[in-house]
Amino acid sequence: MRFFVDPAIEKAKTIHTDFYLSDSVFEESKEKIFDSSWQFAGDTDQVSESGWVTPVQLLPGMINEPLLLTRDKENNIHCLSNVCTHRGNLLVEKACRLNDIRCKYHGRRFGLNGKFSSMPEFREVENFPSESDHLHTLPIHQWGKWIFTSLGQLPASAFFKEMSERLAWMDFTQFRLRPELSRDYEVDAHWALYCENYLEGFHIPFVHAGLNEAIDYGNYTTELFQYSNLQLGIAKSNEACFNLPVESPDYGKKVGGYYFWVFPNMMFNFYPWGLSINIVKPKTPSSCTVSFLTYVSDENRLRQGVGADLHQVEMEDEDIVCNVQKGIRSRYYTQGRYSVTRETGTHHFHRLLAAFLQ
C-alpha cells in the first residue's frame, strides 16, 4: 500500500486513513519505520560504573529486541545483543555487575564489549570461533546522559543534531530520573494519532485551558528539520521561563518550554524544572503505550510554568486522540486538510510516514 502527501501544505491532504486502520500497514511499519529509526535505549545511570550490565528491551510491543547496555573495564559503553550466539538463550535477566558475560545454559563467555572469549566442549569444532560468535554490537548515540540505538543505517546526526545544537548551553549533569514522577499511559488509539496531536499547537486553546493560560499562543512557533522538529513555547509574562545564557539562539525570549519531537515516536519536553521524555510504543493499530520519563534538574521550579501539570494535559490529549481513533473508522472520512500556519508539524510527520513506507 502506497501513500502520498503533497509537499505543498496549502495543496496537501492528510495521510489516508488506511494508514491507521490497516493491519498490514501496521506490520510493514515495524520494518520500514521503526527498524530504520533511532530509539531510546536508556541512560548512563543504568551503567554508572565499570562492570555494570543492564538488560533493556528495545521498544517493547513493536521492535522487541533484547539488548544489553554494558560499561567495560576501559569505561566504554556498549549496546549488545542479549542473545547467546550458541543456542539463542537470553544472557542477562536483571541489572548486575559482572567481570564478563556467561551464558547459564552451556557456559559460553563474552567480554563486556561483546567479544567471544571461551566455550567448553568446542575444541573439535572447525573454523571456530568466527565473527558470528561475538555478540552483535549495535551503534550508540549518546547525548548528555541519554543513550539511543538503531537497527538501521541512518546517521544519528540526522535525528538529533538540531536538538543538541539548540540546547548546547544546558547542563545535563543536573538531570536525575525520578521514577515516582514517571509513569506509563495506556492509550486506545493508533500511535501516529498520538504523535500528530503532539505535533501541532493548534488545539491548545480548544483542548488545554490550563496550558493556554500559561503559554503565549500568538507567539507559538514550529521549526522543521530533517527527521525532527521543535515547537517553541513562549510563556506569558507572569509564568516561569528559562534563564537563557547569551550564547543561546533564543536569548531574549521568554521560553517556557522546548518541545522537540524526533521521528517517529519520541518527544523531549524541556521545562525550567527539567525534562519529560515521552516514548510512544505501538501495540496494535488501535492502541499504544506512552511512557513518561521525568528527569528533574531544579526541584524548586517543579510545579511551575507550562510544565506544571503534565498529567492533566495528558488526560485532555488522550480524550481527543481516542475520539479521533473512533472517528477515522467512519465511512464518511478518509482525509482532511492542513492549516498552513498551524499544522506544519503534522504535515511534516505525514510526509515522513509516506516516504518511509515507499
DSSP line for 36-94: TSEEEEEEGGGG-STTEEEEEEESTTTT-EEEEEEE-TTS-EEEEE-B-TTT--B---S
Instruction: Please report the pLDDT score of residue 305 as a whole number.
Output: 87
How many angstroms separate the CA atoms of 230 and 210, rounded?
A: 21
> Could you state, in chain order, the average pLDDT of each consecutive group of 10 residues for the chain (358 residues)?
94 98 97 96 97 97 96 97 98 97 98 98 97 98 98 97 98 96 98 97 92 90 98 92 96 97 98 97 98 96 88 96 98 98 98 96
Closest CA to 53 of 21, 86, 78: 78
pLDDT reported for residue 167: 98
**Strand order of the sheet with strand 146-150?**
38-43, 146-150, 140-143
DSSP assignment of 130-164, as one string? Answer: -GGGSPPEE-EEEETTEEEEESS-S-THHHHHHHH
Q: What is the pLDDT of residue 35?
A: 95
The pLDDT assigned to 2 comes to: 86
Tell me how far CA of residue 217 lies from CA of 35, 208, 221, 235, 256, in angstroms. 36, 11, 9, 9, 12
Query: pTM value?
Result: 0.95
DSSP 165-195: HHTTT--GGG-EE-GGG-EEEEESS-HHHHH
Give dist(CA 7, CA 55) in Å, integer: 41
Domains along the chain?
A: 38-150 (2.102.10.10), 159-356 (3.90.380.10)
